[in-house]
Amino acid sequence: MRSPEPNRNGGLMTPSPGPRNQSQFHSTVSVQKNRRFNVLILIFRFAAFCFSLASAIFMFANFHGGSDSDSVRWYHFDAFRFVAIAAAIVALYSLFEVGASVWEISRGATVFPEVVQVWFDFSHDQVFAYMLLSADSAGTALARTLRERDTCTANNAFYVQSDISVALGFAGFMFLGFSSLLSGFRVVCFILNGSRFHM
């Protein structure tokens, strides 16, 4: 997308630009800043998607010990079920938000109407961040307790894989938290200006 009059001359502006030029200048800067902001959100969303998907896959694939009676599986434990399902929900949500973000960058418009979109993003970011943190805290506590109690080394791979899944979940939570900050900022911009652009 090219600006019809490229009037960004390295920080130096002509002393008295006409009002039309100045408004075009502001509009161009605003569009560019908004694009950079959207790309930043896209990166955070994509990172949250990768980490939570990896967390879900590690937990769903966490069964060891064959089919005999001493096998341990992730769905035998409440907290690990919670970790797996929370990570899967966050991965699905992040995938949707990555799509919405790409749509917005490529077409310059939001998927839903703007007011719905900014509030949808912010509220879901908050709720899912709380959910993921809660699941991973519970998973950490369970993994620690199991490891202390169970001195049998046959299940060591199970515990290591649980720890990896929980750690990946915490990384996903971190990026979801960053996304939540940015979408909160967009809500404030929307309330301030009546548009999601922050200028």
Residues near its own copies (CB under 8 A) are 77-79, 130, 133-135, 137-142, 144-146, 149, 184, 187-188, 191-192
The CA-atom distances, in angstroms, between 187 and each of 12, 29, 97 are 33, 20, 16
CB of 187 to its own copies, least distance (A): 8
Q: Retrieve residue 64's tokens.
A: 């060891």
CB of 146 to its own copies, least distance (A): 7
Cβ-Cβ contacts under 8 Å for 198 (sequence gap 6 or more): 30, 33, 34, 37, 185, 186, 189
* Choice between 88 and 146, CB closer to its own copies: 146
CB of 9 to its own copies, least distance (A): 32
* Choice between 28 and 126, CB closer to its own copies: 126
Contact 176, 121 (CB under 8 A): no
* Choice between 62 and 101, CB closer to its own copies: 62
CB of 194 to its own copies, least distance (A): 12
* Choice between 84 and 98, CB closer to its own copies: 84
DSSP, collapsed to helix, strand or coil, labels residue 11 as coil
* Choice between 28 and 134, CB closer to its own copies: 134
Q: Retrieve residue 23's tokens.
A: 């408004």
What is the rounded distance in angstroms from the CA atom of residue 145 to the CA atom of residue 36? 45
Q: How many residues does the chain have?
A: 199
CA 32 to chain centre: 22
CB of 137 to its own copies, least distance (A): 4
Instruction: Classify residue 151 by its DSSP letter.
Output: -
Q: Per DSSP, what are the bridge partners of residue 63?
A: 73
CB of 108 to its own copies, least distance (A): 25
* Choice between 53 and 138, CB closer to its own copies: 138
Contact 21, 5 (CB under 8 A): yes
